[in-house]
Structure 1
Amino acid sequence: MNNYPGMCLVFCFAIFGLGSAIRCVKCKDDTGSCTTTQDCRVDEDACLTLAERGGQTTRQCIKVSDCDFNRLAQMFPSVPKFTFDCCSSHLCNGATSIGTGKPLLGLLASLAVMWWCMQ
C-alpha cells in the first residue's frame, strides 16, 4: 500500500492523455515541410490534407463528417481541383509521422508502474 498514491497519479495522467483532443499539423504552403501544430477542438476529430492541383497544400483540423469531396468543395470554393486525405491520429497529416502521442505513453507508463508495484 506504500505505492498507492504513486499508482493513482500515474493512472490519472494516463486517463487524461486518453481523453485529450487530437493534434494536427496546421499550415498552408507549397513545400510540404510545415511544422506548425494545433490542438483541435473537441468536435474536430480528424486531420485534413488538401492538395490543390499545381498549388498549395492546406493542413488543418476538421470534423470527420466534413471529409467528403462535396463538403470540402463548399468549404474551399476558391480551389477548383484538389485531392484530399483525412486521418484520425495525432499529427497524421504531417509530411512524416511525428511521435507516438500521449495516449500510448500514458498507457505504457501505467503498465510499467503496475508491474513494478506487483514485484
Structure 2
Amino acid sequence: MKAFVGVSVVFGLALLGLGSAIKCYRCRDYTGSCTKTHDCRFEDSCLTLNERGGDTYRQCIKYSDCDYAVLSQMFPHVSSFSYKCCSSDLCNGAPMATASSSLLGLLVSLAVLWWCVL
C-alpha cells in the first residue's frame, strides 16, 4: 500500500505540469547571469540565442518560430548566431542552473522511490 501511494504521488506530480504554460528567462546579456523571468503563452517555448562575440538573448518564443530563417528575420541586427529552443520551465538559463535543476529533480525522484521501497 505504501508503494502504491508513493507511485501515485510521483505520477500525480508529473502530470501536474502537463498542459500548462512554461516560464522562461527574459533578458539580453553578455555574462549569462539572467534573473528576470516571464510567463509564456501555452504554445511558447524558451529561446536562447547566442550572438557570435556578443550578447545572449533569452525569451519566450512560439515553438514554430524556432527556425534559423525565422530567427534571422526576428533579429536582423544579429549577423551570426546559434540558438536553442526548449520546452520546460526556465530551461533557457545558464548551463549550470539547468544542470542543477535537473539534478534536484533526479534526487527528489530517487528519494521518493527509496521511500516507496521501504
TM-score per shorter chain, which class? 0.5 to 0.7
Q: Find the aligned partners of 1:54 and 1:82 in 2 and give their Cα distance.
A: 9
Give the TM-score normalised by structure 1: 0.66
Q: Find the aligned partners of 1:49 and 1:62 in 2 and give their Cα distance.
A: 10
Counterparts of 1:2-81 in structure 2, within 5 Å, are: 17-44=17-44, 46-81=45-80
More helix by share: 2
State the one-letter code of the partner of 2:73. Answer: Q
Q: Find the aligned partners of 2:16 and 2:85 in 1 and give their Cα distance.
A: 25
Give the TM-score normalised by structure 2: 0.67
- In structure 1, stretches of 5+ residues that fail to align are 1-9, 109-114
1:89 positional shift: 1.1
Larger Rg: 1
State the one-letter code of the partner of 2:38. Answer: Q
Q: Find the aligned partners of 2:72 and 2:28 in 1 and give their Cα distance.
A: 17
Change (3 A) 1:51 1:20: same
1:42 positional shift: 2.1
Q: Find the aligned partners of 1:63 and 1:14 in 2 and give their Cα distance.
A: 24
Q: CA RMSD in A?
A: 2.5
State the one-letter code of the partner of 2:19. Answer: G
Change (3 A) 1:19 1:31: same
Q: Find the aligned partners of 1:28 and 1:87 in 2 and give their Cα distance.
A: 18
Aligned residue in 1 for 2:84? 85
Change (3 A) 1:56 1:70: same
Count matched residues: 95
